């Protein structure tokens, strides 16, 4: 059990570290437009994930089409998820290549709070007073950034909201993460192909235009997308939920450090105040979640004994 737990930590942490350093990947090809990178990411992700599903998840795919795909809710959920993840990918690539990595990292720090908020308003889940406090503190941070810097953090909020709603749509249809990515990209592939054809007709196509580096990185975008998701799918099943919740802050922390120390993005006192509010909110939120999980674990064995008696 302990060995499985350790393995789960390695896979989950590895996924978040991978996502954290992903800005480096997009920066290498930042001379290509974000839309063209997105189109290639969709196409090569679909091809790479199709190979994975064909090798290790063929039975799962067959069962999915026999049962779940007959339900209208599943079709709608997957279509919604494909639109949301496309928006999220595009805005993130745009943010990285337009030197807004710091603001993008803010979006992923806020995301866990958005996920809970959606759970409350859409799924009718209950929020305790500490979680409510964390939202107020985070809201103060976002408001402070808007007023002090004179700019609304739209990149951060679009990333947080799109990924939050994406997670909600996945929760409603309950599809395996890799299988879900295959079907989501399948919906967008035709549009990606049409867009690349349009670029080719107008002589604006970057792929196979003389830069081997660009070609390799565009081809590799599918692996860069699917591999950490595969690791996360393996790891998250082997460790407690609270640990997954704590490890998720690895990715935006790495991205923030990259933005400030590697790519020289501005991090003023106003940024520091904003992030401090967000980090305090996340500390309150995380401690509250851990306490809830520990409390449930203590109650569960007691309830089991009472039933057996």
What are the sequence ranges of the domains in the chain? 2-300
Confidence of residue 307 (pLDDT cuts 50, 70, 90): very low
CA distance 195 to 216: 20
Q: Say if CB 275 and CB 141 are below 8 A apart.
A: yes
CA distance 146 to 132: 21
**Exposed / middle / buried, residue 137 (Cβ in 10 Å: 0-12, 13-18, 19+):** buried
- pLDDT, position 188: 96
Q: Say if CB 179 and CB 53 are below 8 A apart.
A: yes
For residues 276 and 71, the model is more confident at 276
Please give the average per-residue pLDDT across 207-229, as a whole number.
92
**Cα dihedral 223, 225, 226, 228 in deg (nearest 10):** 100
pLDDT per position as a tens digit, 35-77: 999 999 999 999 999 998 888 877 777 777 766 667 778 888 8
- pLDDT, position 77: 87
DSSP, residue by residue, the chain: -HHHHHHHHHHHHHHHHHHHHHHHHHHHTTTS-HHHHHHHHHHHHHHHHHHHHHHH-HHHHHHHHHTGGGSHHHHHHHHHHHHHHHHHHHHHHHHHHTT-HHHHHHHHHHHHHHHHHHHHHHS-----HHHHHHHHHHHHHHHHHHHHHSS--HHHHHHHHHHHHHHHHHHHHT--HHHHHHHHHHHHHHHHHHHHHHHHHTT---TTSS-HHHHHHHHHHHHHHHHHHHHHHHHTTTS-HHHHHHHTTHHHHHHHHIIIIIS-----HHHHHHHHHHHHHHHHHHHHHHHHHHHHHHHHHHHHHHHH-
- pLDDT, position 121: 86
For residues 291 and 196, the model is more confident at 196
Give me the chain's average pLDDT, please: 88
- pLDDT, position 255: 96
**pTM for the whole thing?**
0.88
Confidence of residue 308 (pLDDT cuts 50, 70, 90): very low
- pLDDT, position 309: 45
- pLDDT, position 299: 65
């Amino acid at each position: 059990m302990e060995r499985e737990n350790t393995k789960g930590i390695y896979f989950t942490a590895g996924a978040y570290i991978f996502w954290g350093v992903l800005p480096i990947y997009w920066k290498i090809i930042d001379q290509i437009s974000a839309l063209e990178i997105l189109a290639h990411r969709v196409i090569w992700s679909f091809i790479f994930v199709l190979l994975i599903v064909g090798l290790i998840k063929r039975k799962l795919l067959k069962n999915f089409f026999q049962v779940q795909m007959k339900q209208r809710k599943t079709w709608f959920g997957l279509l919604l998820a494909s639109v949301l993840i496309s928006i999220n990918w595009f805005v993130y690539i745009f943010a990285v290549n337009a030197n807004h990595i710091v603001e993008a990292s803010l979006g992923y720090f806020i995301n866990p709070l958005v996920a809970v908020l959606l759970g409350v308003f859409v799924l009718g889940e209950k929020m305790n007073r500490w979680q409510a406090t964390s939202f107020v503190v985070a809201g103060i941070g976002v408001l402070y950034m808007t007023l002090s810097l004179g700019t609304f953090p739209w990149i951060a909020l679009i990333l947080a909201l799109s990924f939050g709603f994406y997670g909600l749509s996945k929760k409603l249809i309950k599809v395996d993460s890799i299988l879900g990515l295959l079907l989501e990209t399948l919906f967008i592939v035709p549009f990606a192909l049409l867009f690349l054809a349009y670029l080719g007709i107008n002589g604006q196509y970057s792929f196979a235009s003389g830069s081997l580096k660009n070609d390799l990185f565009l081809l590799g975008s599918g692996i860069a997308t699917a591999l950490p998701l595969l690791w996360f799918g393996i790891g998250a099943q082997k460790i407690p939920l609270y640990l997954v919740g704590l490890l998720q802050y690895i990715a935006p922390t790495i991205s923030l450090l990259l933005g400030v120390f590697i790519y020289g993005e501005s991090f003023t006192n106003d940024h520091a105040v904003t992030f401090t509010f967000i980090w305090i909110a996340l500390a309150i939120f995380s401690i509250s979640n851990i306490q809830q999980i520990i409390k449930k674990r203590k109650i569960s064995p007691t309830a089991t004994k009472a039933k057996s008696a």
